[in-house]
Homo-oligomer: A and B are copies of this chain.
Amino acid sequence: MSLVIIGSLAFDTIETPLGRREGVVGGSATYCALAASYFTRPRLVGVVGEDFPASVIDLFQQRKIDLTGLERRKGRTFHWEGRYGRDPNQRLTIKLELNVFQDFRPVLPRKYRLAKNIFLANIDPDLQEEILRQVTQPRLVAMDTIDHWIKTKREALLRVLKKVNIFFANDEEAKLLTEEINLIRAGRQIQKFGPELVIIKKGEHGALVFGSDWIFGVLAHPCEEVIDPTGAGDCFAGGFLGYLDRSRQLNSRVVKRAAVYGSVMASLAIEDFGIERLKALDSETIKKRFLEFKRLVTFS
């Protein structure tokens, strides 16, 4: 199968109660593609500047990520700086330098246009729509967004929502989008906007997956020390979509397993700063964490 991931590649400066890292590689597409690479061979669409490290390009290649859609431009890579408080769900953006990302107008390479599965990570909904015009016969289109677009580009966002199959949001975004305080109603409401599958991510409380006539709840791995929550949502999407891309079927059993793998990848990513933990995972570690998730919720 084929999974195309469109999103940001960035340098992040991150401050958490456990430390500070300056200019480590991040970005939604980076996290998502690395997480997905443990399940399938993702194709990346994004833009980096001249300062983007060759070592990370090497890492992508080593993880068999297709970089045909990765544009290299003159100038500097997108830079984000943020700070997390003691509550890892609360983060403050301190600085945002779009740099080469400012004029990012993604053009899908010809061979990507036939891709079966597409992930529109968080970018301007107008760009997300533009990308959808370039794909010819997708099996699944998934999208993510952030509160910024819900607040400033609601109409455009609702247009894209109509055209996608899967929508990822965190609980605050879902509430903001639907003006509902109850997450079950919020999830059901978003389904009415278009997507058949809605995934509401709840940080330490796990995630809820809304299907046609079922809801599936997946807990978060009990984690005593979140080192760096950056990218957790993108890793969830990467694990989820990577698993779906590998699967031929799309029934509720497969979707539920995919959600658990999403939660698994997110729980691993937050155990170290930036993409450190994602660099050197193996199927053994992922399988072990999957079984831990199962033990966490199984009763007989």
Task: List the B residue with the shortest CB-CB distance to A292.
Answer: B215
Contacts A181-B87, A202-B205; is A297 near B216 (CB within 8 Å)?
yes
- Considering the chains assembled together, what is the distance between the CA atoms of A294 and B188 in angstroms? 21
Task: Select A185's contact among B217, B224, B256, beta carbons within 8 Å.
Answer: B224
Q: A184 near B299 (CB under 8 angstroms)?
A: no
Q: A253 near B183 (CB under 8 angstroms)?
A: no
Residues of B within 8 A of A224 (CB): 182, 184-185, 188
Residues of B within 8 A of A260 (CB): 299
Q: B297 near A184 (CB under 8 angstroms)?
A: no
Residues of B within 8 A of A253 (CB): 299-300
Q: A86 near B184 (CB under 8 angstroms)?
A: no
Q: B182 near A216 (CB under 8 angstroms)?
A: no
- Considering the chains assembled together, what is the distance between the CA atoms of A222 and B225 in angstroms? 29
- Considering the chains assembled together, what is the distance between the CA atoms of A184 and B256 in angstroms? 25
Interface string of A66-101 (1 = CB under 8 A from B): 000000000000000000001100000000000000
- Considering the chains assembled together, what is the distance between the CA atoms of A183 and B182 in angstroms? 22
Residues of B within 8 A of A294 (CB): 299
**In the complex, what's the smallest C-beta–C-beta distance from A61 to chain B, in angstroms?**
33
Q: How many chain A residues touch B (Cβ–Cβ < 8 Å)?
A: 35
Interface string of A206-231 (1 = CB under 8 A from B): 10100000111111001111100000
**In the complex, what's the smallest C-beta–C-beta distance from A180 to chain B, in angstroms?**
9
Q: Is the C-beta of A248 less than 8 angstroms from some C-beta in chain B?
A: no
Q: Is the C-beta of A295 less than 8 angstroms from some C-beta in chain B?
A: yes
Q: Is the C-beta of A204 less than 8 angstroms from some C-beta in chain B?
A: yes
Q: Is the C-beta of A296 less than 8 angstroms from some C-beta in chain B?
A: yes
- Considering the chains assembled together, what is the distance between the CA atoms of A169 and B153 in angstroms? 41
Residues of B within 8 A of A87 (CB): 181
Task: Select A256's contact among B202, B206, B299, beta carbons within 8 Å.
Answer: B299
- Considering the chains assembled together, what is the distance between the CA atoms of A204 and B218 in angstroms? 14
Q: Is the C-beta of A279 less than 8 angstroms from some C-beta in chain B?
A: no
Interface string of A259-300 (1 = CB under 8 A from B): 110000000000000000000000000000000001111011
Q: Is the C-beta of A257 less than 8 angstroms from some C-beta in chain B?
A: yes
Q: B219 near A219 (CB under 8 angstroms)?
A: yes
- Considering the chains assembled together, what is the distance between the CA atoms of A87 and B202 in angstroms? 16
Task: Select A299's contact among B206, B257, B300, beta carbons within 8 Å.
Answer: B257
- Considering the chains assembled together, what is the distance between the CA atoms of A205 and B257 in angstroms? 20
Residues of B within 8 A of A214 (CB): 295
Please name the 7 residue pairs, one residue from A and one from B, whose CB atoms are nearest each other, closest first.
A205-B205, A256-B299, A217-B219, A297-B297, A184-B222, A86-B181, A184-B224
Q: A259-B299, A294-B299 are in contact. List 16 more A-B contacts (CB 8 A).
A: A86-B181, A87-B181, A182-B223, A185-B224, A202-B205, A205-B206, A206-B217, A208-B222, A215-B222, A215-B296, A216-B297, A216-B299, A217-B219, A218-B297, A219-B297, A253-B299
